[in-house]
Amino acid sequence: MRLALALLVFLTVPLVHAAPDIGSDPGGGGYRSGPQVLLVRTPGMRAVQEVTEAFSEGCRVQFLQVSMGDTPSELARTKELAQSARLLVAVGQPALELLLGARAHIVYALAPDPPAGAIGTNTSAPPVQVFRALQLMLPKTHRILAISSERGHHRIMAARGAARSLGMEVVDVAANGSDSAIRVLRELFLPSREELQRVGQRPSAADVDAIWLGADPQLIDMPVLQFVLQLQIQRGLPVIGATRQQVYFGAMMAVDFPPEAVGRHLAWQVNQLLHDPAHMELVTRDHPIGNPETIINGHAARRLGIAVARIRHNGGFKVIER
């Protein structure tokens, strides 16, 4: 109710066509009194650019697009500009975290750890769809290992229920950062004699059939991804990515929504928030309408003994050769 009341101020905003990207020049394009909508994107990510381009095509209101920057002065300038916007759109987790605390309401995309009650769109598919696709590719999969921090607790709980509904099980191990995640994985799969004594009640390498990276996407940085991809090659352990970008790097598969679909859904959410706040319940869905895609790394799948030709033509499956 409070969110709906706060958004009533947008009812007086006129409907105009989306403005072109005018870079990070807050003084250009007639925005002297502040942009109606400010889109802040995280730099250096291809998916962010693809989401932003699709958002630009679908947004029906005037907006300014800027990169959040990297230097302290650039970050401060972006935060200052955000104070004059009526609505903020953050694309990428770093952009969202930069804008937290701003007066304007924030709508996010590609931010796996948004604040409770936030509105936005992500690419990740529900765990039940991920595990169902994995089961189709590897029917004998039973136990799935997930690494997560406290941030990922709610995703682990959802994943456990999804796995049980398919006759599978999620076993999780805790880590509080990238180094911790690698240490835990090393103890499980490449243990020294001393580490074997410290493992205790943790699952052993022989107990799991796959590694799922979707429980805590922020925990999976490049060093962690490289380590699990080594396990996929050396141990024949399938890696289930959180996004298709990880499949491009070598993960066997991921189930997610295309960045273009995320951008279009994000634009719809912004349009709806600005022009129909009476129907707030319509914008709470955090992923696009429709079915996600299962992206398969053909080279990795064949190394794991999967008959790629058998699933290549299944609806919703897309095989890439990297």
- Reported as a single tens digit per residue, the pLDDT across 91-148 is 999 999 999 989 888 999 999 888 888 899 989 899 999 999 999 999 999 999 999 9
Of the listed ranges 190-194, 218-222, 237-241, 305-309, the one predicted with least confidence: 190-194
The whole-angstrom separation of Cα 147 and Cα 174 is 6
The whole-angstrom separation of Cα 286 and Cα 13 is 25
- Reported as a single tens digit per residue, the pLDDT across 14-54 is 323 333 343 333 333 344 455 689 999 999 888 999 999 99
- Tokens coding 188: 């499980």
- Reported as a single tens digit per residue, the pLDDT across 263-301 is 999 999 999 888 876 776 777 777 888 889 999 999 999
- Reported as a single tens digit per residue, the pLDDT across 50-62 is 999 999 999 998 8
- Reported as a single tens digit per residue, the pLDDT across 174-193 is 999 999 999 999 988 887 65
Higher pLDDT, 317 or 278: 317
The whole-angstrom separation of Cα 249 and Cα 6 is 43
Task: List, in order, residues 6 or more apart from 188 with CB less than 8 Å away.
Answer: 145, 173, 199, 202, 203, 204, 205
CATH number for the domain running over 127-256+291-320: 3.40.50.2300
In degrees, to the nearest 5, what angle opens at C-alpha 274 toward C-alphas 268 and 280? Answer: 75
Average pLDDT of span 63-75 = 93
Looking at 3.30.200.20, 3.40.50.2300, 3.30.70.2610, 3.40.50.300, the CATH number of the domain 2-123+259-283 comes to 3.40.50.2300
pTM: 0.80
- Any idea where the domains of the chain sit in the sequence? 2-123+259-283, 127-256+291-320
Please check whether the two domains, 2-123+259-283 and 127-256+291-320, share a CATH topology.
yes
- SS in 3 state form for the chain? CHHHHHHHHHHHCCCCCCCCCCCCCCCCCCCCCCCCEEEEECCCCHHHHHHHHHHHHHCCCCEEEEECCCCHHHHHHHHHHHCCCCEEEEECHHHHHHHCCCCCEEEEECCCCCCCCCEEECCECCHHHHHHHHHHHCCCCCEEEEEECHHHHHHHHHHHHHHHHCCCEEEEEECCCHHHHHHHHHHHHCCCHHHHHHCCCCCCHHHCCEEECCCCHHHCCHHHHHHHHHHHHHHCCCEEECCHHHHHHCCCEEEECCHHHHHHHHHHHHHHHHHCHHHHHHHCCCCCCCCCEEEEEHHHHHHCCCCHHHHCCCCCEEEECC
Number of Cβ within a 10 Å radius of residue 154:
12
What pLDDT does 94 receive?
95
- Tokens coding 155: 């995703």
